[in-house]
Amino acid sequence: MTLAEVTRAVGGTLHLSATDHEESPVEGVVDTDSREMGPGSVFVAKPGDVTDGHLFVGAAAEAGAALAIVERVVDAPISQIVVADAVAALARLAQEVVARVRASGQLQVVGITGSNGKTTTKNLLARILQDEGPTVAPRASFNNEVGAPVTMLRVAADTRFLVSELGASRPGRIAELAALITPDIGAVLMVGLAHAGGFGGVDATQKAKTELVQAVRPGGVAVLNADDPRVAAMAAVAAERGVAVRWFGRGPDADVRAEDVEVTASGTVCTIVVGGERFPLRLRVLGEHHVMNALAAVTIAGVLGVSTADAVARLETVEIAERWRMQPLGSDRVRIINDAYNASPDSMSAALRTVAQITEPGQRKVAVLGAMSELGEQAGEEHDRVGLQAVRLRYERIVVIGSAARRLYLAAISEGSWDGEAVFFETADEAFDYLRGELRDGDRVLVKSSNSAGLRFLGDRLGESFS
């Protein structure tokens, strides 16, 4: 696109540098991080809580950026488009670029949402699709009002598949993000208590996730979890919009289902059944709950024309879903399972069950747990449930970290049957010192918390210490 075309797309005012003119081209990365800039890139100067992107316009120019989208003119040798809201301009540019690529090529667009499993599912799907043609999918969990458009803006003229992970920080957010791409396929994985505090309860969360189904283009496909009644109810919305439904799940009515699921220390084995045909799958990603994510990926891929046999074969090459998501660290002597990038009551429960399932007789189960964020008024009760579950799954040691998780610790010691079963530390450093002396050969250690608790770095330290 030219500078003039970008200016029209974002609805701003163009201030040219001394060497540019309106028809000068821009054709590089678009990002809010000046460290990602290179020749021809577009830097979006987003004001932030900690710092202000306008402070880095000069650095972006030095790195070769061709354009800065700003909310005020900055003294730097680079053409600038002044807009009222840089994040809104980023979204408008993403919408324009996706529309152009779609009109001129073979681009097919997938949107994925759900209370849990979004990042794992998009990674599994991206692995399947990359062998079919050029595929764009988010880095890490780029699923908010900045990360989603940044991902969309990575599409090129030859991109065949765009996989967008859509998160919700508030009601209406998924609708806004999905409107930028009008998905051909919208997949809803589950409705749970993740972020329920920000929505006012699980009913409001269900309504927010339904926004993706409402955004799928007429004639498109909604891929829905047949095992989750709140997701299954979205089929009625799909029908109203002329959107077909493909079901995945463990039950007999799913179009793509899993049978004979077995959890092992090296992954999960199951049989995927599609149209009466059976396909053995050995998924190296730890955790029974990831079977549902694999089913969703296979279902989406099938809608896009990928055979089940090919999809399954490609899934078997995936070693981990993402860093800090059920990531095996340490060694066979002391195995650390670092799953502390995110946490909700559902994912916390699933992780605790998984480590309990893969721990052999004579080995100890150790849970290193921090707070689950964004649960609102349900936070206390849900932390209680986790503490009780850890005890009832017979974890020999329960290490709780941080004042926000203290209810979890109190519930564990209340339910526990002997002294010392659960311990509490204010900081991860204190917990690391304790665990370095406490852990022994044969221990299987789960490190699990929300991102805000920072325990993923504790998991990395433990993994290195016991490698």
Q: What is the mean pLDDT of the chain?
A: 93
pLDDT exceeds cutoff 90 at 156: yes
The per-residue pLDDT for 36 is 93
For 327-465, CATH gives 3.90.190.20
3 state SS of 141: coil
The per-residue pLDDT for 213 is 98
418-425: average pLDDT: 84
Right CATH for 89-315 from 3.40.1190.10, 3.50.50.60, 3.40.50.300, 3.20.20.80: 3.40.1190.10
43-65: average pLDDT: 93
Alpha carbons 399 and 406: distance in angstroms, whole number: 11
Closest CA to 395 of 444, 457, 330: 444
pLDDT exceeds cutoff 60 at 306: yes
DSSP codes, 273-309: EETTEEEEEEE-SS-TTHHHHHHHHHHHHHHTT--HH
Greater model confidence, 289 or 310: 310
146-175: average pLDDT: 92
Greater model confidence, 143 or 337: 337
294-321: average pLDDT: 96
126-145: average pLDDT: 91
| Residue 48 banded pLDDT, cuts 50, 70, 90 | confident
pLDDT exceeds cutoff 80 at 140: no
For 3-84, CATH gives 3.40.1390.10
| Residue 66 banded pLDDT, cuts 50, 70, 90 | very high
Q: Binding site: residue ranges?
A: 114-120
> Taking CA 464 as the corner, what is the angle to CA 459 and CA 466, rounded to the nearest 5 degrees?
95
241-264: average pLDDT: 95
pLDDT exceeds cutoff 60 at 196: no
The per-residue pLDDT for 192 is 80
Q: Pinpoint the alpha helices (H) of 153-195.
A: 173-179
Greater model confidence, 215 or 143: 215
Q: Between the ranges 295-309, 344-358, 360-374, where is the mean pLDDT highest?
A: 295-309
The per-residue pLDDT for 359 is 94
Q: Binding site for ATP: residue ranges?
A: 114-120
DSSP codes, 26-50: --S-EES-GGG--TT-EEE--B-SS
The per-residue pLDDT for 217 is 96
Q: pLDDT tens across 105-129, in order?
A: 899 999 999 988 898 999 999 999 9
pLDDT exceeds cutoff 60 at 197: no
Alpha carbons 146 and 144: distance in angstroms, whole number: 5
pLDDT exceeds cutoff 90 at 323: no
pLDDT exceeds cutoff 60 at 281: yes
> What are the residue boundaries of the structural domains of the chain, listed by start?
3-84, 89-315, 327-465
